[in-house]
Amino acid sequence: MSTIGVLGGGQLARMLALAGAPLGVRFLIVDNVADACAGQVAPLLVADWRDFAALERFAAQIDVATFDFENVPADTAHWLTEHTRVSPNPRALALAQDRLAEKSMFRELGLETPAFATVDSREDLVRAAATIGFPAVLKTRRLGYDGKGQFRLRSADDIDAAWRALGGAPSILEAWVAFEREVSVVAVRGRDGAFATYPLVQNWHSDGILSASLAPAPDAAGLAELATHHARRIAEHLDYVGVFALELFVRDGKLLGNEMAPRVHNSGHWTIEGAPCSQFENHVRAVLGLPLGDTAALGVSVMLNWIGQLPDAGPVLREPRGHWHDYGKSPRAGRKVGHATLCAGNAADLGEALARVARALGREAQAAPVLAALHGAR
């Protein structure tokens, strides 16, 4: 029986453990907090990311280490490679931790991005703003996700506020993209180089946090093929093993690279019920060297993220293909505490189910853009 070690004990580690259990895979979670929710379903080792004595004990009990989130220190990942196999590799992790390196790689591999410039000082910010123009977004190069570490500049009057807000951290300034929609592709690459993607997904965000995902994205056949091409090039360039997500903007019918996540991803949660083999099971398969599973969509699905606190589960569970996921977290503003997935055979039936759930839960605003996309897909 194989054991996978997961660095990070959040909901992604939790769902990895649940997906791996039917395969007979054991898990050991390491996190620096004692109430990490993955510890409810798998053994949890509480340790700091640089407590190498504890990490040595961790490595001795596992067959491969992987990640629940991308902000594990890269030097910890490198240290682990001397004690166990690590998938994805530390190079991929380090690159995804640095927005400048990430965007530069996208361009190197032929994926267009918004205009960007390096910002290491206030003077750099002034020069970058003069070149890129407004509106623009100042982003820390490291440790930013779910809208954190970002400040939108609407004019030159915002320069000082932006610089103060990010604490003078090394950053990049990006041109604001007036995108038509946000999409993502979740991809998986095995140890033998086998590669597959799930259907392109359309996403909606609220305050920088994913609110809803619709799979497959409507009217996106050509874009899906192009997204798969870019994801494959990235995976092969990094010799990547496991699941990752490539987040993209659509503008004027073209794809622009936003960022990649070197792990299973929020926009792939729909795959638990909406695909023959979920992103979580495929990640387990990939890092253990097992054959990859089928990534096709079983009809259409919508995933609704629950942020802050959970609503009533009843309206979702009353739907014939409604699925509920409680992460076992205490409520807190801005915290991902669960999600629901609705599945159906076609866009019309999914729209009706989503409308019923939204009305019952008072979530009409969250569902409205998804319903509009579904209506356009009929």
pLDDT attached to residue 19: 98
In the chain, where does the domain assigned CATH 3.30.470.20 lie?
181-377
pLDDT attached to residue 144: 59
Alpha-carbon distance of 333 to 326, in angstroms, equals 16
Q: Which fold has domain 115-175?
A: Dna Ligase; domain 1 (3.30.1490)
Would the CA dihedral through 321, 39, 9, 87 be positive or negative? negative
pLDDT attached to residue 74: 82
Nearest to 66 by CA among 20, 99, 98: 20
pLDDT attached to residue 142: 84
Write out the two tokens for 111.
């994926």
Q: Amino acid letter at 377?
A: A
Decide: 97 and 80 in contact? Cβ < 8 Å: no
Cis-peptide into 315, omega within 30 deg? no
Q: Amino acid letter at 330?
A: S
Q: Which fold has domain 181-377?
A: D-amino Acid Aminotransferase; Chain A, domain 1 (3.30.470)
pLDDT attached to residue 139: 93
pLDDT tens string for the chain (378 positions)? 899 999 999 999 999 999 999 999 999 999 999 999 999 999 999 999 999 999 999 999 999 999 998 888 888 999 999 999 999 999 999 999 999 999 999 999 999 999 999 999 999 999 999 999 999 999 999 865 555 688 999 999 999 999 999 988 999 999 999 999 999 999 999 999 999 999 999 999 998 899 999 999 998 889 999 999 999 999 999 999 999 999 999 999 999 999 999 999 999 999 999 999 999 999 999 999 999 999 999 999 999 999 999 999 999 999 999 999 999 999 999 999 999 999 999 999 999 999 999 999 999 999 999 999 998 765
- 114-145 pLDDT per residue, tens: 999 999 999 999 999 999 999 999 999 986 55
Cis-peptide into 135, omega within 30 deg? yes
Alpha-carbon distance of 48 to 46, in angstroms, equals 7
Distance, CA of 177 to chain centre: 20
Alpha-carbon distance of 32 to 72, in angstroms, equals 11
Can you state the angle between helices 74-81 and 52-60, rounded to 10 degrees? 50
pLDDT attached to residue 69: 86
pLDDT attached to residue 115: 96
pLDDT attached to residue 51: 96
In the chain, where does the domain assigned CATH 3.40.50.20 lie?
3-86
> Is the pTM value of this prediction over 0.75?
yes
Alpha-carbon distance of 174 to 237, in angstroms, equals 24
Decide: 175 and 221 in contact? Cβ < 8 Å: no
Report the 3 state secondary structure along 249-294: EEECCEEEEEEEECCCCHHHCCHHHHCCCCHHHHHHHHHHCCCCCC
In the chain, where does the domain assigned CATH 3.30.1490.20 lie?
115-175
3-86 CATH, one of 3.40.50.200, 1.20.210.10, 3.40.50.20, 3.10.250.10: 3.40.50.20
Q: Is 360 helix (H, G, I), strand (E, B) or coil?
A: helix
Nearest to 216 by CA among 186, 175, 180: 186
